[in-house]
């Protein structure tokens, strides 16, 4: 975990917005990204929390946690980055304001509209492309990137898409390039906090998980998946099914040869004395310890609830 006391050069690059500009981003979110949601959604507590997350909270999380972590592995200033899964652009702002040259892609057109308007509002020049991650090796053939970052994206792909995208982007990197995954649910974890809010749900085969989703406590999820058709299965898979070390080994190289340069671990978020004590007593700590006993050869980054990994191509 980066030392926040040494991150002054990062904080110096943060760009502030006045209220008028912040309101313009909120307006863009309402007109574009949230236009697809049920009428009245943004008047609910959940909707307001969702809006606040897209408006500021995601940017602050990236500034305080993700950017220092990435910059500690290799300075972001003057680096070239391919960001896959930019969403509405909060993470893109956090990368570009550090002086990186960013190409950002996403499959969702409405999200890209917001991301583009957001970066323009911050005075940042970013190249946005609407594309599936499986297309990037063709779209950017021969182009150099210091970082290729999958930002909360891998879990929303089908298995063939994920395998194709991971393998192709790994091959795109030159020696010394960094392949990164950020905020991706770990299929090994005992509880699905990302999508279904059910224990063991990510462990189930897709069809069984589809059928069992009706027991989820999550609204706008449990009632959707009744008839197992091609269309409904695809929709279900894109909601998020998790990723584990298996895809990495199949698409990159044997894990013993894979250079995990850095990972964010759950314990790194517990810095105070009492926080560390509570962490050592937690179920999460005990579960990670169990996984370490079962598979001691795995890098600890592959055992966390969410995957945050920086892998160096050698």
Q: Tell me, what's the pLDDT at 5?
A: 44
- Mean pLDDT estimate for the chain: 94
Split at pLDDT 50, 70, 90, the class of 267 is: confident
pLDDT digits (tens, 9 = 90+) for 108-151: 999 999 999 999 999 999 999 999 999 999 999 989 999 999 99
Q: How far is it, in rounded angstroms, from Cα 221 to Cα 144?
A: 40
Neighbours of 169 (CB within 10 A): 24
pLDDT digits (tens, 9 = 90+) for 234-265: 999 999 999 999 999 999 999 999 999 999 98
- Contacts of residue 119, defined as CB under 8 A and 6 or more positions apart, other chains included, come to 89, 92, 93, 96, 125, 126, 128
Asked whether 117 and 25 are in contact (CB, 8 A), the reply is: yes
Q: Tell me, what's the pLDDT at 119?
A: 97
Instruction: Enter the pTM of the model.
Output: 0.93
Q: Tell me, what's the pLDDT at 271?
A: 64
Q: Tell me, what's the pLDDT at 4?
A: 46
pLDDT at 270 over 90: no
Q: Tell me, what's the pLDDT at 181?
A: 98
């Amino acid at each position: 975990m980066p030392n926040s006391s040494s991150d002054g050069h990062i904080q110096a690059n943060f760009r502030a917005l006045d209220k008028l500009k912040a309101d313009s981003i909120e307006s863009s979110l309402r007109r574009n990204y949230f236009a697809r949601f049920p009428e009245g959604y943004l008047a609910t507590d959940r909707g307001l929390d969702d809006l606040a997350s897209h408006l500021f909270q995601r940017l602050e999380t990236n500034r305080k946690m993700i950017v220092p972590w990435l910059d500690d592995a290799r300075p972001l200033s003057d680096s070239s980055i391919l960001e896959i899964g930019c969403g509405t652009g909060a993470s893109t702002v956090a990368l570009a304001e550090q002086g990186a040259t960013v190409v950002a892609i996403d499959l969702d057109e409405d999200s890209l509209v917001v991301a583009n308007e957001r970066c323009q509002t911050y005075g940042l020049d970013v190249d946005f492309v609407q594309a599936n991650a499986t297309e990037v090796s063709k779209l950017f053939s021969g182009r150099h990137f210091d970082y290729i970052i999958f930002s909360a994206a891998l879990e929303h792909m089908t298995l063939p898409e994920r395998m194709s995208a991971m393998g192709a982007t790994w091959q795109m990197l030159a020696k010394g390039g960094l392949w990164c995954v950020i905020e991706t649910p770990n299929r090994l974890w005992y509880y699905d906090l990302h999508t279904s809010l059910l224990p063991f749900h990510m462990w189930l085969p897709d069809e069984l998980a589809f059928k069992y989703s009706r027991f989820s406590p999550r609204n706008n999820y449990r009632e959707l998946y009744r008839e197992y058709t091609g269309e409904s299965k695809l929709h279900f898979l894109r909601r998020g099914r998790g990723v584990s070390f298996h895809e990495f080994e199949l698409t990159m190289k044997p894990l013993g040869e894979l250079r995990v340069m850095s990972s964010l671990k759950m314990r790194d978020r517990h810095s105070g004395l009492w926080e560390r004590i509570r962490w050592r007593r937690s179920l999460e700590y005990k579960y990670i310890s169990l996984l370490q006993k079962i598979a001691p050869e795995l890098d600890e980054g592959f055992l966390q609830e969410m995957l945050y990994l920086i892998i160096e191509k050698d």
